[in-house]
Amino acid sequence: MKYIMLSYMLEESSPVHIGLQEPQIIPNAQISKGGGYNSYIINVENHSGTHVDAPGHFLEGGKIISEYKPDELVFNNPLILEVPKKQNELIKLEEVSNLNLEGINCIFFRTGFGKYREKDSETYLTSNPGIESELVYWLRKNYPEIKCIGIDCISMSSYQKPEEGKKAHLNAFMKNEELGEPLLLVEDMDLEIDEKLDSVETVFIIPWQIKGIDSAPCVVMAKINR
Ligand SMILES: [Zn+2]
């Protein structure tokens, strides 16, 4: 048994959504400059790096990430699904609708787009694949045990298809009698792992513990069964 990260380390150079402030990690007191200790000031928008979106991101009064209990952030039956995608392509309902997802409580979509993150951040940010809104609705309606989905792209929304992306977010978060609990959405995940996808046994999503914010940067740790 071992543990791996499915989240990226946050750096000043981390690619962030177009329009967001870039992360600042500023040395404050520094021993090398004659200080008595080391410390840093960290200035980061909450949708930077690997982060988890909660309903309050799109819905006024929606549940916010700081209201989630630890029990709601541990997933004992995750599925990492291989769905190779080219630039601007959407993950479609028909790719998932014939799978048996009984018992699964969390799905991470591996599009392979993570390979652009370092080498071509422009492509990573502006040509990313996304998820079809209809698929999100279908998952909530048919598999209420699924409480979280994630993706190895900067967003669930394809940058080139913002309307469809907004719908996908709303379908994840909205209150609707036909649907169960809203979903959490983990974006900018590191799914470029060497381990076999089905060896991922348990996933822990650990958002920064900051009161009152809609969503938060997070650590995603996975327990690997080998
Ligand atoms: Zn976000």
Question: What's the pTM value of the predicted model, to 2 decimals?
Answer: 0.96
Q: Render pLDDT for 107-148 as a digit per residue (tens, 0 to 9).
A: 999 999 999 999 999 999 999 999 999 999 999 999 999 999
Angle made by CA atoms 42, 173, 88, in degrees to the nearest 5: 75
29 alpha carbon to ligand 1 midpoint, in Å? 32
Q: List the structure tokens of 77.
A: 């039956």
Q: How far is the CA of 47 from the centre of ligand 1 (A)?
A: 5
Confidence of residue 93 (pLDDT cuts 50, 70, 90): very high
CA 107 from chain centre, in angstroms, equals 11
Residue with tokens 């089905």: 198
For residue 36, report the distance from its CA to the centre of ligand 1, in Å: 38
Distance (angstroms) between ligand 1 centre and the Cα of 219 equals 14
**Share of residues in the chain with pLDDT > 70 (%):** 100
Distance 150 CA to ligand 1 centre (A): 11
| pLDDT tens by residue, 40-76 | 999 999 999 999 999 999 999 999 999 999 999 999 9
pLDDT tens track for 8-27: 999 999 999 999 999 999 99
Residues 125 and 170 sit within 8 Å (Cβ to Cβ) = no
For the purposes of burial, counting CB atoms within 10 Å of the CB of 191, is it exposed (0-12), middle (13-18) or buried (19 or more)? buried
- For residue 19, how far is its CA from the centre of ligand 1 (angstroms)? 12
Mean pLDDT confidence for 158-173: 97
How much distance in Å is there from the Cα of 95 to the middle of ligand 1? Answer: 24
Query: Ligand 1 centroid vs 33 CA: distance in angstroms?
Result: 37
Dist. CA 143 → ligand 1 center (Å): 23
Query: Quick one: tokens of 97?
Result: 């609708």
CA end-to-end span of the chain = 6
Question: How many whole angstroms separate alpha carbon 78 and alpha carbon 224?
Answer: 11
Query: What residue type is assigned to position 144 of the chain?
Result: P
37 CA → ligand 1 middle, Å: 34
- Domains in the chain, start-ordered, CATH in brackets? 2-224 (3.50.30.50)
Average pLDDT over residues 161-189: 95
The radius of gyration of the chain from alpha carbons, rounded to an integer in Å, stands at 18
Q: From ligand 1's centre to the CA of 30, what distance in Å?
A: 33
| Cα 209 to Cα 212: distance, rounded to the nearest angstrom | 10
Q: How far is the CA of 226 from the centre of ligand 1 (A)?
A: 32
* CB count in 10 Å sphere of residue 189: 25
Q: Is residue 59 packed enough to be buried (19+ CB in 10 Å), middle (13-18) or exposed (0-12)?
A: middle
Question: What is the four-CA torsion angle of 138, 152, 77, 135, rounded to 10 degrees?
Answer: 0
CA of 157 to the centre of ligand 1 (A): 9
> Separation of 83 CA from ligand 1 center, angstroms?
21
